[in-house]
Amino acid sequence: MIDFNKELYFKTDKFKVLLDRYEKSTSQGEPFYLDPEDLTDIAEYYQYHECDEKALSTIDRAIYTFPSAVEPLLFRSRYALLRENDVEKAKYYALQIIDTSDYDYKYLHAEILIHEGKPEEADEYLRMGVDDLSPRERADYVYDVVNLFLDYDALDCARKWIELIDDKSGKDYRETSARCYLLNQEYSQAEELYMQLVDQDPYSTYYWTQLTDSQYLNGKISEALQSSEFALAIDSQCEDALLAKANCQFTLGQLADALDFYHRYSALRPNDGYVESLIGSTYVKMNNLEEALIHYNKAILLANGDRSLFIDISKQKALLLSSMGLRDKALLVIENCINTAKNNIADLHVIKGYIYMDAGETDEGLRQFETAITLSDNDPFIIYQIGTACYDNGEYDLAYDALRRITIENQDDNPIDGWAYYAACCAKMGRADEFLYALRKGCEVNPAEVSIVFSNILHPNIPFTDLYEFIKNKFIK
């Protein structure tokens, strides 16, 4: 993950001159000395702009020229971890770092442990020696560790480290706490803190875009749109703000405007497969399916180096092909994903089941759902996906059974997903009491899902606090 300060550095004249001289050196053979830090910055720039081949070529050059330098090895190890999903390769490069007392090495080692599913072990490792640091070093170290855990959604570990922060009135503490609130879906608390931060630093595009995210996730789409516009007033080329504004416009149904801002973002980041897929999804909403397919295909090509993104976009393409009546092509896309993923493929069988159901082959669809449940060992989220797939295909009895299983019958686990779809099934089946109970639960624990499921009867930007009464009055006369 590239931090905000590094993004700003990439826009400076100093870095642009450095990049220009490097590219002339590599293309024309002009001698030009660069230290390992500069080469790593250039590799990070290429990675940030999805130019992975250039990033790897640059960092390999840095490692060859400066075999004991820390920064290139850190980059290459993290690249193996995050982009190639290759823990052993990440360890290989990490082991070449001689100075294991370097803080960045410690963060990398912890990151590898977290990636292996060992956050508690990472926590224990990072605590070693923390009490020997000076107060200033300790404060910086603690914040770095908190943000590392938050990057991996390890909220419990992050909160333990936040307790070690002495100054709970400073900007850094509020910023970190706001990130925790966002991760824990406490959007109102996050919004309040980001409001304080933008009051303190009204020219920070980072704070404005974070405020946008908290408002968007809290269902305050118009407010989020306004916040994104404040960020763009500060920096009209702020990529996060362009993307945030496009997402707000998409949600508000302003599809032509959303396309414009997605394209403005894409002009700055032409190799971003994720945003190319968002453009495809916008065309789907506009019922321009052929144009949507063009952008999904482009997105898949751009995402080819990122296995997770490649599969996510391929699933969207498969569902689009299915909706176009191209069953065989849709299944071929999913089979390719299964061969690519090799494991963790239960959700892909759910997609296969959806495609068969969409083609009227309900029995084969159910067989695929059974395979998914077996592969996932009855994972509630897989059952949730099956329930929504059945609901979308009008199989309300089947959807009801699946969604009831992960909501009503699973309340000891405090389920968040599924209540809205369960309520919708109950409405379709005339189960009024169950409908009201499920609707109220959904509005309490996952109002965003309620807004999606009942979007056909909601007016844009209805506050989450009004969802229950509004929907109830539409159904219960």
pLDDT for res 477:
61
pLDDT for res 2:
60
pLDDT for res 4:
62
Written as one letter, the residue type at 74 is: L
Q: Which two tokens stand for residue 108?
A: 């990398």
Give the span between the Cα atoms of 228 and 210, in whole angstroms. 9
Contact status, residue 158 vs residue 180, Cβ threshold 8 Å: yes
Give the span between the Cα atoms of 379 and 295, in whole angstroms. 32
pLDDT for res 166:
83
pLDDT for res 423:
96
Cα–Cα distances in angstroms (integers) from residue 130 to residues 135, 139, 448, in the given order: 10, 10, 40
Tens of pLDDT, residue by residue, the chain (477 residues): 566 668 788 889 999 999 998 998 888 777 778 899 999 999 999 988 888 889 999 999 999 999 989 999 999 999 999 888 889 999 999 999 998 888 899 999 999 999 998 999 999 999 998 888 898 889 899 999 999 999 999 999 999 999 988 888 888 899 999 999 999 889 999 999 999 999 999 999 999 999 999 999 888 889 999 999 999 999 999 999 999 999 999 988 899 999 999 999 999 999 999 999 999 999 999 999 999 999 999 999 998 778 889 999 999 999 999 999 999 999 999 999 998 887 789 999 999 999 999 999 999 999 999 999 999 999 999 999 999 999 999 999 999 999 999 999 998 888 999 999 999 999 999 999 999 999 999 999 888 899 889 988 887 667 778 889 999 988 876
pLDDT for res 220:
87
* Overall size of the chain counted in residues: 477
Residues 6+ positions from 262 with CB-CB distance below 8 Å: 243, 246, 275, 278, 279, 282
Longest dimension (CA), the chain: 80
3-class SS letters over the chain: CCCHHHHHHHCCHHHHHHHHHHHHHHHHCCCCCCCHHHHHHHHHHHHHCCCHHHHHHHHHHHHHHCCCCHHHHHHHHHHHHHCCCCHHHHHHHHCCCCCCCCHHHHHHHHHHHHHCCCHHHHHHHHHCCHHHCCHHHHHHHHHHHHHHHHHCCCHHHHHHHHCCCCCCCCHHHHHHHHHHHHHCCCHHHHHHHHHHHHHHCCCCHHHHHHHHHHHHHCCCHHHHHHHHHHHHHHCCCCHHHHHHHHHHHHHCCCHHHHHHHHHHHHHHCCCCHHHHHHHHHHHHHCCCHHHHHHHHHHHHHHCCCCHHHHHHHHHHHHHHHHHCCCHHHHHHHHHHHHHHHCCCCHHHHHHHHHHHHHCCCHHHHHHHHHHHHHHCCCCHHHHHHHHHHHHHCCCHHHHHHHHHHHCHHHHHHCCCCCHHHHHHHHHHHCCHHHHHHHHHHHHHHCHHHHHHHCCCCCCCCCCHHHHHHHHHHHHCC
Contact status, residue 221 vs residue 251, Cβ threshold 8 Å: yes
Candidates 394, 393, 426, 391; CA nearest to 408 is 426
Q: Which two tokens stand for residue 27?
A: 């293309």
Written as one letter, the residue type at 466 is: D
Q: Which two tokens stand for residue 443?
A: 């509005």
Taking the whole predicted model, whether its pTM rises above 0.85 is answered as no
Question: Exposed (0-12), middle (13-18) or buried (19+): which is 28, by Cβ within 10 Å?
Answer: exposed
CA-based Rg of the chain, rounded to a whole angstrom? 24
Contact status, residue 468 vs residue 441, Cβ threshold 8 Å: no
Q: Sort residue 153 into left (φ over 0), alpha (ψ -120 to 50) or beta.
A: left
